[in-house]
C-alpha cells in the first residue's frame, strides 16, 4: 500500500503507539470505554479538550474522579464497592452532541441530594445565584416519580430534547431527569457557560416538582440558566406550563448502541 500523507518513519511511530495503547487497555491501566470514546471522537473529527468532550462535557472517567473526591470531602459514605458496582459507563457517542452520560448521585433524601448538588455547582461556578423562593424541604420540592432511592447510577440524558415545549406536556416520571442535571452542572462548568438558548439551550429540571410561595402547589419546576452578561449560573423555578423557545426539557435516553 502506498502512503502519501505520512512518512514510513511516522507510520512506524503510529503503529507502535497503537500497539502500546492496545497493550495498556488489555492490562487495565487505561479504561476501555474512555479509550473508545477518544478514538471515536478522533475518527469523527470531534476532539477532546483535556477531559472534555465537545469542549463542554466531562468524560465519565472525569466525573467518576470528581464524585469520589466529593464523596470523601463531604462524607457521603459511599464505599469503593459502591463505585465499583456502577460498572462501565454506557456509550454516549452519537451524532447529537447534547446526548451525554451523567453519573447521577442520590443521597439520603431528596433535600440532601438537591442541596449537596447545588453546593457542588456553587464550588464549580464562583459566580452563582439561587432564587430564595426555591426551597428543598418536603413541602417545597419532590420528585415527579415519587421514588427516591440512595445510590449511584449512570444515566444517558438528551440535554437538548423538547426545546420550546411546555414541561407539563412532555415530562414523564420514568424519563425525566432530576438531580443528574445539577451534577452535570458541577462536572461540566463549560456546558453551563456555553448555554446561549440556541444550539446549547437552557434547561428545565423536569424530574422535580416545586411549590413556590404565592403559586399553586406543585405547579413549578426548577431550571438552570447561564447569565452571559454577569457570567453567572442561576437556579430558579417557573410555572411548568410555561413555554420558551430557548429552553429544553431534557429526557433520559437509552444508551446508544
Sign of torsion over alpha carbons 16, 21, 22, 26: positive
CB atoms within 10 A of CB 22: 12
Q: Is the pLDDT of residue 2 over 70?
A: no
Min mean pLDDT across 21-30, 43-52, 195-204 is at 43-52
- The torsion of the CA quartet 180, 183, 185, 191, rounded to 10 degrees, works out to -60
Kindly state whether residue 153 falls inside one of the protein's structural domains. yes
**Confidence class for position 26, pLDDT limits 50, 70, 90:** confident
pTM of the model: 0.80
Kindly state whether residue 203 falls inside one of the protein's structural domains. yes
**For position 46, what pLDDT does the model report?**
46
Range of the domain at 139: 50-253
Kindly state whether residue 11 falls inside one of the protein's structural domains. no
* % the chain with pLDDT above 90: 73
- Residue keyed to cell 464497592: 81
**For position 54, what pLDDT does the model report?**
72
**Confidence class for position 254, pLDDT limits 50, 70, 90:** confident
Kindly state whether residue 161 falls inside one of the protein's structural domains. yes
Structurally, how many domains does the chain consist of?
1
Kindly state whether residue 14 falls inside one of the protein's structural domains. no
List all residues 6 or more positions away from 2 whose beta carbon is below 8 Å from its beta carbon: none
Backbone angles phi, psi at 91, to 5 degrees: -65, 145
139-156 pLDDT tens trace:
999 999 999 999 999 999
Kindly state whether residue 36 falls inside one of the protein's structural domains. no
39-94 pLDDT tens trace:
665 554 444 445 567 789 999 999 999 999 999 999 999 999 999 999 999 876 66
158-178 pLDDT tens trace:
999 999 999 999 999 999 999
Q: Is the pLDDT of residue 133 over 60?
A: yes
Q: d(Cα 135, Cα 238) in Å, to the nearest integer?
A: 13
Kindly state whether residue 245 falls inside one of the protein's structural domains. yes
Kindly state whether residue 170 falls inside one of the protein's structural domains. yes
Burial of 109 (0-12, 13-18, 19+ CB in 10 A): middle
Amino acid at each position: 500500500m502506498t502512503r502519501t500523507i505520512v512518512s514510513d518513519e511516522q507510520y512506524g511511530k503510529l503503529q507502535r503507539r497503537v500497539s502500546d495503547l492496545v497493550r495498556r487497555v488489555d492490562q487495565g491501566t487505561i479504561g476501555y470505554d474512555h479509550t473508545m470514546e477518544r478514538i471515536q471522537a478522533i475518527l469523527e473529527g470531534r476532539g477532546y479538550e483535556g477531559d472534555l468532550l465537545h469542549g463542554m462535557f466531562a468524560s465519565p472517567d472525569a466525573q467518576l474522579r470528581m464524585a469520589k473526591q466529593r464523596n470523601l470531602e463531604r462524607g457521603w459514605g459511599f464505599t469503593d464497592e459502591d463505585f465499583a458496582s456502577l460498572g462501565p459507563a454506557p456509550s454516549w457517542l452519537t451524532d447529537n452532541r447534547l446526548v451525554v452520560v451523567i453519573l447521577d448521585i442520590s443521597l439520603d433524601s431528596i433535600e440532601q441530594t438537591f442541596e449537596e448538588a447545588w453546593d457542588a455547582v456553587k464550588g464549580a461556578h464562583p459566580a452563582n445565584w439561587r432564587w430564595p423562593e426555591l426551597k428543598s424541604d418536603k413541602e417545597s420540592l419532590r420528585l415527579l416519580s415519587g421514588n427516591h432511592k440512595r445510590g449511584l447510577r449512570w444515566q444517558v440524558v438528551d440535554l437538548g430534547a423538547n426545546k420550546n415545549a411546555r414541561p407539563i406536556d412532555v415530562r414523564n416520571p420514568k424519563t425525566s431527569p432530576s438531580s443528574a442535571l445539577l451534577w452535570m452542572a458541577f462536572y461540566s462548568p463549560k456546558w453551563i457557560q456555553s448555554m446561549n438558548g440556541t444550539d446549547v439551550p437552557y434547561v428545565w429540571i423536569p424530574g422535580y416538582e416545586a411549590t413556590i410561595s404565592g403559586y399553586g402547589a406543585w405547579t413549578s419546576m426548577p431550571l438552570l440558566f447561564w447569565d452571559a452578561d454577569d457570567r453567572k449560573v442561576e437556579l430558579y423555578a417557573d410555572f411548568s406550563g410555561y413555554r420558551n423557545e430557548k429552553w429544553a426539557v431534557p429526557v433520559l435516553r437509552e444508551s446508544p448502541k
